Amino acid sequence: MKLSELKPKEKGKIVKLTITGSLKRRLMDMGIVPGEIVYVEKVAPLGDPIDIVIKNYHLSLRKSEAENIEVEEVK
Amino acid sequence: MEINIKGLEEALGINVVPTVATKGEGVKELLFTVKKIAGNKEGYKPKILNYGEKIEKALENLEELIKKENMELVAKYPSRWLCLKLLEGDELILKETGLINNSEFLEKLEKIREPLIKTYDEDIESILADIRYGLAHGIVKEMVKKKEKVTSDFTERVDKIVLNRILGIPIFLAIMWLVFKLAFDFGGPFCDWIDGFIGFIGKWVSVGLDNIGAAEWFKFLIVDGIIGGVGAVLVFVPLIGIFMLAITFLEGSGYLARAAFVMDRIMHSFGLHGKSFIPLIIGFGCNVPSIYGTRVLETDRDRKLTALLCPCMSCSARLPVYVLFAGLFFAQYGGTVIWSLYILGIIVAVILGIILSKTIYKGMKPIFVMELPPYRMPTLKYLSIYTWEKLKHFLIKAGTFILAASILVWVLLNIPYGAPKDKTLLAGIGKAISPVFSPLGFGKWEAVSALVTGIVAKEVVVTTMAEIYSAKKEKEVEEKTSFGQDLKEQIIGLSSAFKEAVKNMFSLKSGIFEAEEEEGGWKANIRKAFTPLSVYSYLVFVLLYWPCMVFAFALRAEFGWKLLGQTFLIYTLLPWIMSFLVYNIGKLLEIG
């Protein structure tokens, strides 16, 4: 499933980034690499962007960007 | 958090110096190490990252190919780096080296790249990035010991309120209101004082020039043109200073990222970044600090696009023009008319944003991904360095142009010297270009000349109108005072400006949008010259054409001539088209 499909308070493990180019580089720079665990903290008041926790820090990204991140749900 | 410095040095093969940026710890050691290594380049041997057998073989082949092809390149670039970039297919490097035109080389390069792409089933850039990041994460895992939770409880607790579904947006708007209050109600009295102080200097320079018997035109050029021009720059200093201090504080404290998080949904819908909201809303006060405010944005695309939309935000200098005409022509509906102009500006900005992000700025992909850092108190040093840097930039880079333009405008208004109002260069220009404005309903030289001087600053439209439409010239009566007494009054003025600023901060009533009432027989003359419809068309034009000279030169200083050219084009055509539509649709509907 995609990271954008996780709901607040749900956890996922990153499987793959399905894009290339500058956005991929930026995501990897921010620590979004396969194998990492992400936790969706909350959604912005108007429904987009989302606030996730990765490597113990908060990162915000748009849902359209989170669509490019393949995850598997972790209970 | 604990970092194994020794281990990190061994893993990377370079010296590692730990520092704490906010406290300045370790900076001396860092400089010392840099100096030591710069003096001993042979001893500097960082570890080379091994990309694995297949890629290393490809790199070897590529290196040989380049050596055969072009020895100059090998001398110019670090060869391993160049090979990696070519293997990635980096277009910038292909262009820079001129290899993009060498079809034979490109063919051979593809032969090396293709098998790799096939085996890994991914583009080479991603393969290399994966390897690099893999290594980096491995090193971090080994050398860094983290406690379970890094973000503090304080940050979590504040975010629960500040990013709350219901409270998030109201809190953001309240903070912006406070920033405005600080800039206008606290900074305002200081702007007024600077204005008065420039008048004081002008007055005594003029007395001095009289005493040495300087020609009258020369005296006016110095006092009105040059000293007035310097004043036009300096008056902005408190405003820009306070706005920048506030933005730097919001950025340094960590709140700015939250503001972007809260507002992004709205801004994204017309092609902007969440952070764009801040420079744009500042534009309602003044468009000039907006330009410096765009520095909160990370990409060039977002910064330019935001700067291009700023002029649509109706700044406080346009209000006196609205107030004058709305009062004269729309009586009790004046408030509604003024309100409609503000809304029109926002609508135009939204449409323009959508159009620009789908045309000129289409190619550049916006990226939002951004850290929400833990809250911390910005240091005084950080605040003062960043604020001062922007002020200095404004004073030097924009100030010189503004001064030159002020002198030019003075010349337009006063040449030939001593000529009546309808014979000056300005009137000449007004008469020459007024036919262009006939389809908009105000093709009279008086109205057009006021627009021309309005380029200096929008509120000048009102003063020019007053001068042109008044029947006879009113003589200014000057009181006789001594220099010492005058200087004393200036100093007292500064201290009372300070008192007023403090008092304003504790009063709920805001003076941001107060306009001064001016009286005179010229108002009756304006009533005869316009109809309500042509007045509305004129106000739409005032809303949308060129914010002011100071904006133009600040924009040039920050983004260069090209963006200034684009802005000039947009904000010359746009107001004409909008006013044309307003006037002609109004005529069809038989309004006015």
Per-residue pLDDT tens digits for B87-97 = 888 888 888 88
Does one domain contain both B32 and B64? no
Our CA-based measurement puts residue B26 at a distance from the nearest CA of chain A, in whole angstroms, of 25
| Joined tokens for residue B285 | 């006060």
Measured in whole angstroms, the distance separating CA B525 from the mean position of its chain's CA atoms is: 39
In a domain, B48, yes or no: no
pLDDT over 90 at B31, yes or no: yes
CATH number at residue B138: 1.10.287.1770
Amino acid at B459: E
In a domain, B46, yes or no: no
State how far the Cα of A3 lies from the Cα of A54, in Å rounded to an integer. Answer: 12
Average of pLDDT values for B308-322? 89
A36 within 8 A of B130, measured Cβ to Cβ: no
Our CA-based measurement puts residue B66 at a distance from the nearest CA of chain A, in whole angstroms, of 26
Show the domain range for A15: 3-74
pLDDT over 80 at B149, yes or no: no
Which chain A residue has its CA at the smallest distance from B262's CA? A44
CB contact under 8 A, B268 and A51: no
CB contact under 8 A, A59 and B369: yes
Highest mean pLDDT, choosing among B62-71, B125-134, B455-464, B573-582: B573-582
Show the domain range for B88: 53-147
Residue numbers in B near A56 (CB within 8 A) = 146, 148-151
Q: Tell which of B277, B369, B371, B372 to mutate to test the A interface (max A CBs under 10 Å).
A: B369
In a domain, B159, yes or no: no
Of A28, A57, A65, the CB nearest to B368: A65
CB contact residues (below 8 A), chain B span 99-158, against chain A: 123, 125-126, 129-130, 133-134, 137, 146, 148-151
End-to-end alpha carbon distance in chain B: 72
Does one domain contain both B299 and B427? yes
DSSP B333-352: GHHHHHHHHHHHHHHHHHHH
CB contact under 8 A, A28 and B367: no
Average of pLDDT values for B56-75? 82
B463-B464-B468-B472 Cα dihedral, nearest 10 degrees: 40
pTM: 0.79
State how far the Cα of B497 lies from the Cα of B369, in Å rounded to an integer. Answer: 44
CATH number at residue A22: 2.30.30.90
Element at B181 (helix H, strand E): helix B168-181
State how far the Cα of B98 lies from the Cα of B395, in Å rounded to an integer. Answer: 41
Q: What is the domain count for chain A?
A: 1
In a domain, B351, yes or no: yes
Does one domain contain both B34 and B66? no
Does one domain contain both B403 and B528? yes
Q: What is the domain count for chain B?
A: 3
pLDDT at residue B364, rounded to an integer: 66
Q: Tell which of A58, A68, A70 to mutate to test the B interface (max B CBs under 10 Å).
A: A58
CB contact under 8 A, A60 and B168: no
Q: Which residues pair with B370 in a beta bridge?
A: A60
Q: Which residues pair with B92 in a beta bridge?
A: none
Buried b (16+ CB within 10 A) or exposed e, B187-220: bbbbbebbebbbebebbeebeebeeeeeeeeebb
State how far the Cα of B368 lies from the Cα of B404, in Å rounded to an integer. Answer: 40
Does one domain contain both B120 and B192? no
Of B126, B146, B367, the CB nearest to A56: B146
Does one domain contain both B508 and B540? yes
Highest mean pLDDT, choosing among B390-404, B458-472, B498-512: B390-404
pLDDT over 70 at B71, yes or no: no
Residues 6+ apart with CB under 8 A from B514: none
Residue numbers in B near A37 (CB within 8 A) = none
pLDDT at residue B148, rounded to an integer: 62
In a domain, B166, yes or no: no
Band (pLDDT 50/70/90 cuts) for residue B478 is: low
In a domain, B161, yes or no: no
Does one domain contain both B259 and B134? no
Does one domain contain both B346 and B433? yes
- The overall average pLDDT reported for chain B is 85
Does one domain contain both B287 and B418? yes
Residue numbers in B near A40 (CB within 8 A) = none
Instruction: Tell which residue, B537, B574, B539, has the closest CA to residue B308.
Output: B574
CB contact under 8 A, A58 and B371: yes
In a domain, B162, yes or no: no
Of the candidate ranges A27-36, B344-353, B539-548, the one whose mean pLDDT is the lowest: A27-36
Domain boundary among B147, B180, B206: B147
Q: Tell which of B265, B299, B365 to mutate to test the A interface (max A CBs under 10 Å).
A: B265
Average of pLDDT values for B247-265? 91
Does one domain contain both B21 and B98? no
State how far the Cα of B273 lies from the Cα of B275, in Å rounded to an integer. Answer: 5
In a domain, B368, yes or no: yes
Does one domain contain both B387 and B291? yes
pLDDT over 80 at B331, yes or no: no
pLDDT over 60 at B566, yes or no: yes
